[in-house]
């Protein structure tokens, strides 16, 4: 039997999960992962909050809802199998006033429809029983929402790939991807290789990689950075788990929240603002080509004009640590400006359409023997093992290999 040659572009958690799934489900497959950085999980996987989302917010029946719930089950078991720390610390989505209660109740209804276990609405007096320092008039409580080290998961996936005979090639930036009638060719600086199947999971570069194979540019990736602050270790007792706001439909992004990390530290954030580069994690970093891609895109300006209030809110938190902390104080009043220190920055690969609308669901496209994961924002890491199942099923349907 001829061995199937499969390539995965991108060594984040989703790309690695896809490669592992290909090895499990395709007999005698030769699987190669191309990762342009010197280590796996270098971008979105390694710059997020580590939350394993339970499925509270997502439209019932959507890919996000289905793959998130399946993903939680798979991820929890995988963490146990690989001895990766996993903690169900619980999550409160807190309404601050009566105007937020209806939206909070809608979140509860979605959570129930999505099968989130043991989710319930709690009154204001019960909030303090769960989070002693938090304040609000009511909340949705999800005790099964968890935290994890996604980098450790990615490293375990890479080890699984190697153990099964696959290859994870680091420092291999893909410069070309050409589709032919019976195979596809991946080109790096080291040369070109032909494959029977290619799956792209390129995250912040997903639109550019998709275009290499003739896919349309849209949806375009517009990067938004999110800054985090860390509570001083001596103040970590202010937060026991996860404390979130009720999403406001006036704003496209959630806003500052308080998150326990798997190492016990407490993060505040993130905010969200247009990034000067798709990989500009340093606060003075920027990319001329990335900036031109964003501000030269008419869809971005349509988005910006509809969201001036959101831009003003986010700009305040970018420019002022005090403003950032005030957002957190709405939920935990005892947090003080002196309690926080600047933490990491993440960058979200936001897929945007020509009309300025944001892609809300996962987007998986492709043609022939190439499949592209075009949009996999939060809960992408949570859903990674389930996304891999879904993608490999698509590969098998299209290629009959």
Instruction: State the DSSP string of 6-36.
Output: EEEE--SHHHHHHHHHHHHHSTT-EEEEEES
Query: What's the token pair of residue 98?
Result: 């009566």
Say what the alpha-carbon torsion angle 56, 60, 66, 70 is, to the nearest 10 degrees: 40
Q: Please count the other Cβ atoms lying within 10 Å of the Cβ belonging to residue 275.
A: 26
Shared domain check, 276 and 136: no
Q: What is the pTM of this model?
A: 0.97
> What is the structure's pLDDT at 1?
47
**Does residue 40 contact residue 182 with C-beta atoms inside 8 Å?**
no
CATH label of the domain that carries residue 349: 3.30.9
Shared domain check, 352 and 365: no
Residue 332 and residue 193: Cα distance in Å, rounded? 54
Shared domain check, 384 and 238: no
Shared domain check, 326 and 206: no
Buried b (16+ CB within 10 A) or exposed e, 342-365: ebbbbbbbbbbeeebebbebbbbb
- The answer to whether residue 343 is domain-embedded is yes
- The H or E element spanning position 57 is none
Shared domain check, 181 and 113: no
Shared domain check, 114 and 30: no
Q: Please count the other Cβ atoms lying within 10 Å of the Cβ belonging to residue 114.
A: 22
The last residue of one of the domains, among 80, 113, 143, is 143
**Does residue 41 contact residue 54 with C-beta atoms inside 8 Å?**
no
Residue 220 and residue 354: Cα distance in Å, rounded? 8
Shared domain check, 122 and 23: no
Shared domain check, 268 and 183: no
Buried b (16+ CB within 10 A) or exposed e, 17-35: bbbbbbbeebeebbbbbbb
The last residue of one of the domains, among 143, 174, 205, is 143
Tell me, what DSSP letter sits at residue 85?
Answer: -
- pLDDT tens digit sequence for 284-311: 889 999 999 999 999 999 999 999 999 9
What residue numbers bound the domain in which 212 lies?
A: 5-46+151-219+360-399
CATH label of the domain that carries residue 34: 3.50.50.60
Shared domain check, 326 and 284: yes
**Does residue 21 contact residue 30 with C-beta atoms inside 8 Å?**
no
> What is the structure's pLDDT at 400?
63
- The answer to whether residue 137 is domain-embedded is yes
Shared domain check, 39 and 133: no
Shared domain check, 209 and 182: yes
Buried b (16+ CB within 10 A) or exposed e, 237-251: ebbbbbbbbbbbeeb
- The H or E element spanning position 384 is helix 384-399
Shared domain check, 26 and 156: yes
Report the phi/psi class of residue 346: left, alpha or beta, with left for phi > 0 and alpha for psi in -120 to 50: beta
- Regions of the chain with pLDDT less than 70: 1, 400-401
Query: What's the token pair of residue 59?
Result: 């439209």
The last residue of one of the domains, among 124, 143, 162, is 143
- The H or E element spanning position 309 is helix 308-319
326's CB contacts (< 8 A; 6+ apart) are: none
């Amino acid at each position: 039997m001829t061995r199937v040659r499969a390539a995965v572009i991108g060594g984040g958690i989703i790309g690695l999960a896809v490669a592992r799934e290909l090895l499990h489900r395709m007999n005698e497959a030769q699987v190669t992962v191309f990762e342009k950085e010197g280590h796996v999980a270098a971008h979105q996987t390694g710059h997020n909050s580590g939350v394993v989302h339970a499925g509270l917010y997502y439209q019932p029946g959507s890919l996000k809802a289905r793959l998130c719930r399946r993903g939680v089950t798979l991820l929890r078991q995988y963490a146990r199998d690989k001895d990766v720390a996993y903690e169900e610390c619980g999550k409160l989505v807190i309404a601050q006033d009566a105007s937020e209660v209806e939206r909070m109740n809608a979140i509860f209804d979605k959570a129930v429809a999505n099968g989130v276990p043991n989710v319930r609405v709690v009154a204001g007096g019960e909030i303090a029983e769960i989070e002693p320092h938090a304040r609000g008039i009511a909340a949705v409580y999800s005790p099964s929402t968890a935290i994890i080290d996604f980098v450790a998961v990615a490293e375990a996936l890479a080890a699984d790939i190697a153990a099964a005979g696959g290859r994870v090639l680091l420092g291999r930036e893909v410069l070309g991807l050409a589709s032919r009638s019976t195979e596809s060719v991946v080109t790096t600086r080291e040369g070109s290789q032909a494959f029977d199947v290619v799956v792209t999971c390129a995250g912040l570069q997903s639109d550019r990689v998709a275009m290499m194979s003739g896919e349309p540019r849209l949806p375009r990736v517009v990067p938004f950075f999110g800054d985090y602050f860390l509570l001083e270790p001596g103040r970590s007792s202010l937060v026991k788990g996860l404390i979130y706001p009720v999403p406001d439909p006036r704003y496209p992004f959630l806003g500052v929240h308080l998150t326990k990390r798997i190492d016990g530290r407490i993060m505040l954030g993130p905010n969200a603002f247009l990034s000067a580069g798709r990989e500009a994690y340093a606060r003075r970093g920027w990319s001329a080509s990335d900036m031109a891609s964003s501000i030269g895109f008419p869809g971005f300006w349509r988005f910006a004009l509809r969201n001036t209030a959101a831009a003003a809110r986010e700009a305040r938190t970018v420019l002022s640590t005090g403003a950032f902390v005030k957002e957190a104080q709405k939920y935990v009043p005892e947090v003080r400006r002196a309690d926080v220190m600047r933490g990491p920055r993440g960058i979200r690969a936001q897929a945007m359409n020509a009309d300025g609308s944001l892609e809300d669901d996962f987007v998986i496209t492709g043609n022939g023997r190439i499949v592209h994961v075009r949009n996999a924002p939060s809960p992408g890491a949570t859903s990674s093992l389930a996304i891999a199942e879904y993608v490999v099923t698509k590969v098998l349907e299209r290629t009959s290999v």
